[in-house]
């Protein structure tokens, strides 16, 4: 099958036109993408113009330069991060609220005076206040009565119970000896 030079020339011309149109569309779409992306990342108009001009003038190398130099976060991400930080600061700075009625309570109150909800408990050993969820006093290290004690054998538990029984007997014998 013989090739006609005119047909080959027209096919080459058509392929070149198609490739040129594709590259032009790609170039314009990258310029528009760069403009939209930089508008999401900064409010500085000069920076928006410069980024768009770099991608317009340099095509693919310009877009690569923009990708290297663009800001890491968008304005929306920065706004969300600021909101999260403000919320954390508010929880730190806000006074405690009663879980029962929602009124403000002081840190040293055991019970809410409005609804009588228990807010804290006292350590049975040192008498300092603890949060209700705590099973161990952070001040003296004493576990709450009835709580499981980790890493203790049965001998350790029974020995401590025997010592508790002996201590009141010693106190009673000392009281009787001082009264007689």
**pLDDT for position 134:** 85
Q: Is the pLDDT of residue 9 over 70?
A: yes
In sequence order, what DSSP letters do the residues of the chain get, joined into one string?
A: -PPPHHHHHHHHHHHHHHHHHHHHHHHHHHHHHHHHHHHHH---HHHHHHHHHHHHHHSHHHHHHHHHHS-SS-HHHHHHHHHHHHHHHHHHHSPPB-TTT--B--TT-SB-TTT--B-EEE-TTT--EEETT-SB-TTT-PBPTTPPPTT--HHHHHHHHHHHHHHHHHHHHHHHHHH-
pTM: 0.50
- What is the predicted pLDDT for the residue at 87? 87
Round to whole Å and give the CA distance between 165 and 10: 109
- Whole-number average pLDDT of the chain: 85
Question: pLDDT grade, residue 78 (50/70/90)?
Answer: very high
Whether the predicted pLDDT of 163 surpasses 80: no
d(CA 23, CA 2): 32
pLDDT of residue 94: 73
Is the pLDDT reported for residue 173 higher than 60? Answer: no
pLDDT digits (tens, 9 = 90+) for 90-134: 877 777 888 889 888 888 888 999 998 888 888 888 888 888 888
pLDDT digits (tens, 9 = 90+) for 37-50: 999 999 999 999 99
11-38 average pLDDT score = 96
pLDDT of residue 36: 97
């Amino acid at each position: 099958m013989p090739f006609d030079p005119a047909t080959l020339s027209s096919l080459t011309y058509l392929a070149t036109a198609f490739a040129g149109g594709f590259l032009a569309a790609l170039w314009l779409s990258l310029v528009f993408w760069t403009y939209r992306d930089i508008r999401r990342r900064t409010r500085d108009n000069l920076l928006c113009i410069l980024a768009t001009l770099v991608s317009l003038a340099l095509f693919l190398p310009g877009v690569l330069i923009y990708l290297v130099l663009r800001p890491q976060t968008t304005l929306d991400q920065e706004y969300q991060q600021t909101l999260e930080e403000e919320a954390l600061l508010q929880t730190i700075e806000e006074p405690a609220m009663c879980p029962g009625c929602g009124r403000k309570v002081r840190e040293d109150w055991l019970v809410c005076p409005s609804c009588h909800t228990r807010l804290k408990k006292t350590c049975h050993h040192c008498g300092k206040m603890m949060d209700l969820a705590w099973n161990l006093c952070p001040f003296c290290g004493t576990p709450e009565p009835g709580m499981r004690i980790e890493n203790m054998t049965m001998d350790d538990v029974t020995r401590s119970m025997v010592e508790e029984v002996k201590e009141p007997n010693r106190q009673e014998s000392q009281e009787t000896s001082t009264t007689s």
